[in-house]
Amino acid sequence: MQASPRNPEERLRQLSARDFASDNPMASGSEELWFICKELRDRGAVMECADDIFDLMERLDDVDLGSPGPLVHSLESTGTAYEPSLKASLRRKPTPLSVWMVNRILNTDRADRRHWLDLLDMAATHPSASEATRADVRDFLAFQAKCGQP
């Protein structure tokens, strides 16, 4: 990985799949994510980078970015402030992490449950979603149906 710029947004933008590749002895993407997210949380700047975080999830949707990992923990540390950015990301390109986040929301008692289920339904057939994402959506919808809540 290249020398990291100081700006966390730029550091997020510079991460690539190669930074996470198991066959790359110099791969340090996971560690870099933890450092970036800690810095953002310490500075109270997670929401300033929310779009960059979701962009990273969309660009690297076939990379293991954690589960939940530093990105999700950081976004969820903002309470519900990240939810509009999550919705926008889902509409652009559902990813394994973004649909997983929706499932986490659905595991709580929410008045807007139907809205989140509708977003998952949309993700199941979204033209930009990978087959892995669609499979995750099907699993999450089946799980939520077993929960028996409308």
Domain ranges of the chain: 8-147
Dump pLDDT digits (tens) for 80-114. Answer: 999 999 999 999 999 999 999 999 999 999 999 99
Type of residue found at 27: A
For residue 38, which of 63, 71, 11 has the smallest C-alpha distance? 71
Rg of the Cα atoms in the chain? 16
Cα 55 from Cα 93, distance rounded (Å)? 9
The one-character DSSP state at 24 is: -
Rounded to whole angstroms, what are the CA distances from 84 to 63, 67, 90, 91, 101? 23, 21, 10, 11, 13
> 23 phi and psi, to 5 degrees?
-90, 5
Dump pLDDT digits (tens) for 61-85. Answer: 999 998 889 999 999 999 999 999 9
What is the pLDDT at residue 67? 83
pTM passes above 0.85:
yes
